[in-house]
Amino acid sequence: MTGYQEILTDPSYAHQLVTFTYPHIAAGLIIRDLPVLSSNFRQHQPLADYLREQQMVAIAGIDTRRLTRILRERGAQNGCILAGDTDAEKALALARAFAGLSGKDLAQVVSTPKPYEWTQTEWQLGAGYGTLTQPSYHVVAFDYGVKFNILRMLAQRGCRVTVLPAQASATEALALKPDGIFLSNGPGDPQPCDYAIRAVRELIEQKLPTFGICLGHQIMALAIGAQTVKMKTGHHGANHPVKDLDDGRVVITSQNHGFAVDAQSLPAHARITHVSLFDGTLQGFALKESPAFCFQGHPEASPGPHDLGYLFDRFISLMARERANNKAAV
């Protein structure tokens, strides 16, 4: 019942129609009911006004629970929202003409066109967002569709973040002399992102601390020779149970992906760290010979469960350890 604003602005949903089952507090592209009145004290503007401002197509009056049952049983479907036209055959033809997400490189579509610096920290009650003034680490983040709260969580832990476009090379990243590399979330099929796969492969060879999530997780897998597959329905929502195989804990996670890494294709120098308790699919792995690890879900969960905040702490620990090792070597 929360997170609709975030889902509307999440780059990982690029080129997709989103439907919600909750009938009233629902936003996105397909909803059951759009209330005429809205009165939340934190409101800045009504949903309909926001959608018009962003030029986002939406439709209400749909039986979203029935639609959800169809998607659950038959998998993700092509769809079309037609405004001002009731020609069902035309709508069907447009939906059938959509090629789907397989083979689509959307990372470079939603990525930043140029590098930028990030120092904003997490929101605190009574204070709002803060600013990092004394960074301890420098992280280079590859933007495949990054969510701002991911950057805030890195800054909160003392990281000055330089965000690079999706197509940036390993050479460009290394020239910034980072303490660590972050591979962000993003939409679409990871396999066409050959530029990203090539860059990550080169960065892993440098043995820099590297942390990937969502699309970044899949790109890291492809970079080490594993394979990805298209899922029937994908994982979406903020209540997915995942087991951490290192310590046995079960965490509730936020998920948004239509592709998954084939666990059977992982090479011997990678070990599985997390699995989904919904369907057993791979959720995370770490490399044995390099300080690199990744996770399929969205550990920043804004909003949603914060169970996986420890993954950010693990990334910080890797950078601290590498820095200590380098000092000892000198």
The CA-CA-CA angle for residues 177, 181, 182, to 5°, reads 145
Instruction: In whole angstroms, give the CA distance from residue 313 to residue 316.
Output: 5
Catalytic residue among 235, 236, 240, 300: 300
214 is annotated as an active-site residue: yes
Dihedral angle sign, alpha carbons of residues 317, 215, 262, 208: negative
235 is annotated as an active-site residue: no
Mark residue 107 as left, alpha or beta (left: phi above 0; alpha: psi -120 to 50; beta: remaining).
alpha
Catalytic residue among 214, 217, 235, 294: 214
44 is annotated as an active-site residue: no
Which sequence positions are flagged as catalytic? 214, 298, 300
